[in-house]
Amino acid sequence: MSETLDNAVRTYIENHRAAFLDDLAEWLRIPSVSAQPEHGADVLRSAEWLAAKLRETGFPVVEIWPTDGAPAVFASWPSDDADAPTALVYGHHDVQPAAREDGWDTDPFDPVVRDGRMYGRGAADDKGQVFFHTLGLRAHLAATGRTSPAVHLKLLIEGEEESGSPHFRRLIEERRDRLAADTVLVSDTGMWSEDTPTVCTGMRGLIDCEVTLTGPGQDIHSGSFGGAVPNPATEAARLVAALHDDRGAVAVPGFYDGVIPLTDRERALFAELPFDEEQWLRTAKSHATSGEAGHTTLERIWARPTAEVNGIGGGYQGPGGKTIIPATAMLKLSFRLVAGQDPARIEEQVRIWIAERLPAGIGHTVTFGGATRPCLTPLDHPALQSVVRAMSRAFQRPVLFTREGGSGPAADLQDVLDAPVLFLGISVPSDGWHAPNEKVELDLLMKGVETAAHLWGDLAQQGRHAP
């Protein structure tokens, strides 16, 4: 953490900032929209553009990995220090769809710099946050005089994240040996705010299921039969109502088995975040908070498992009334999971719970979709400490902690590579992911470059460590 090194890094970045931004703008001009088949060639072009830039950066191994969908880019640069730990950076080069008429002030694929921000689809999500690693790595090498990174460095930049990463799990399972790493660094998230740099320490997992309930063999007349036979819409509703107890906790037996509770330190650090609940409610477009008793809103969305109804349907939903007992009803349920919960076990518990609650005369099926495991890195994990120190040096202020309530392919990396997952992101909530006028704050982007420049040396000092 020498002042000299910090200055050398800063100077290098300053000198290369303009060219770096020109390059990023060039990449943003490629409309690599993975969800739109007509942009298939652009996604490939985006991969090739990145591969060329990584070669130019100095990566001795750069490969485009095809999938049954869009291609990923893999790069590797071994450290001269054979014993150094291995770090794998994850990001994606595909972007969300965007069209000028969606409300963009300028062409989403012709980036402009205005008021210290670069506007364009992918500026923050995720091209900007992938690309800062190139200049970060060069600054690391230049400032330390090294000819190879302090860690064995790998990059995996996928091309289908905005389409739900349908081939990602298979890709990393097939390439598990090439991807092996001591630490995974996900550069596809954000931080609390411009003034509050934070590191995300985990994501919730996810399982979801569709429940279908059957009652009468067809819709039957509620006058002739109402009040005397079970109604599947009523039973669907009763399942939902029984999902939570009086304190807002999930009532499926065993649901909380193994949940790793928040530590007092984590709760205290969450509480240090300048959280404005009124503002948060506006973001959530909601009019009140609710949830598990004994927890704050941030704890509820980041660190507690939940059950939600994503959809419910049964009987007549058209205009006016129709006096029937419906033949069927349907529920879509999803459960967010936290570290310590086993998706397979909870699926089984949910199945048993549903079967036991339904009365005679109601048939049912439960179909689960794919499961995403939760991931969590403890605050005192050495690699997490490295990220925090690198970020503090760049931002020159203390770094706090967040978690992510959503679920993502990070968990697949943790699972398949059996490595802890860390999150490094410099995007802020106002960056407009998936929205018109997506942008990245250039000052923050350069802090990302600077963090990346410091990270590899710090991580190398920690040595290898068991996850």
319-338: which residues touch a copy of itself (CB under 8 A)?
320-327, 329-330, 332, 334, 336
Q: Which of 223, 258, 261, 463 binds a copy of itself (CB under 8 A)?
A: 223
Strands of the sheet with 328-337, listed across from one edge: 328-337, 205-214, 363-368
x/- contact string, 230-269, with a copy of itself (CB under 8 A)? Answer: xx-xx-xxxxxxxxx-------------------------
Question: What is the SS3 string spanning 361-427?
Answer: CCEEEEEECCCECCEECCCCCHHHHHHHHHHHHHHCCCCEEEEECCCCCHHHHHHHHCCCEEECCCE
- Is residue 225 involved in binding a copy of itself (CB under 8 A)? yes
Q: Does 281 bind a copy of itself (CB under 8 A)?
A: yes
The residues in 2-31 that bind a copy of itself, with binding defined as CB under 8 A, are: none
| β-pairing verdict for 152-158 and 86-92 | parallel
H/E segment holding residue 211: strand 205-214
97 or 433: CB nearest a copy of itself: 433
Question: Which residue lies nearer to a copy of itself by CB, 155 or 375?
Answer: 375
Of 62 and 236, nearer to a copy of itself (C-beta) is 236
Instruction: Report how far residue 335's alpha carbon sits from residue 347's, in angstroms, rounded to the nearest whole number.
Output: 9
Contact flag: residue 410 with a copy of itself (CB under 8 A): no
Residue number with CB closer to a copy of itself (41 or 316): 316
Interaction of residue 170 with a copy of itself, rule CB under 8 A:
no
291 lies in the binding site for a copy of itself (CB under 8 A): yes
* Closest to 401 measured CA to CA, from 312, 299, 331: 299
- With respect to a copy of itself, which residue has the nearer C-beta, 289 or 461? 289
From residue 349 to residue 378, the character string flagging contacts with a copy of itself as x (rule: CB under 8 A) and all else as - is ----------xxxxx-----x---------
Contacts of 302 (CB under 8 A, 6+ apart): 202, 204, 270, 402, 403, 404, 405
* Nearest distance from C-beta of residue 313 to a copy of itself, angstroms: 4
Least distance to a copy of itself from the beta carbon of 183, Å? 24
**Taking contact as CB under 8 A, which single stretch among the options 58-66, 100-108, 286-294, 439-447 is the one that binds a copy of itself?**
286-294
Give 10 or 336: the residue with its C-beta nearer to a copy of itself.
336
Distance CA 273, CA 267 (A): 10
Residues 212/326, Cβ–Cβ less than 8 Å: no
Q: Name the nearest CA neighbour of 160 among 50, 37, 334.
A: 37
**CB-wise, 182 or 235, nearer to a copy of itself?**
235
List helix spans (H) across 180-263: 222-225, 232-242
Among the listed residues 145, 224, 264, 466, the single contact to a copy of itself using CB under 8 A: 224
402 bridge partner residues: 200
Give the integer Cα–Cα distance in Å for 264 and 266: 6
- Shortest approach of a copy of itself to residue 89 CB, angstroms? 23
Query: Alpha-carbon distance 179 to 42, whole Å?
Result: 26
CB 105 within 8 A of CB 119: yes
Per CB under 8 A, which of residues 378..407 are in contact with a copy of itself?
404-407
Query: Which listed residue (42, 208, 431, 438) binds a copy of itself by CB under 8 A?
Result: 208
C-beta of residue 40 within 8 angstroms of C-beta of residue 32: no
Query: Nearest 5°: CA angle at 440, between 435 and 442?
Result: 165
Interface pick for a copy of itself out of 111, 190, 315, 374 (rule CB under 8 A): 315
Q: By C-beta, is 4 or 224 nearer to a copy of itself?
A: 224
CB of 268 to a copy of itself, least distance (A): 20
- CB closer to a copy of itself, 13 vs 236: 236
Nearer to a copy of itself, 113 or 309 (CB): 309
CB burial of residue 397 (10 Å; 0-12, 13-18, 19+): exposed
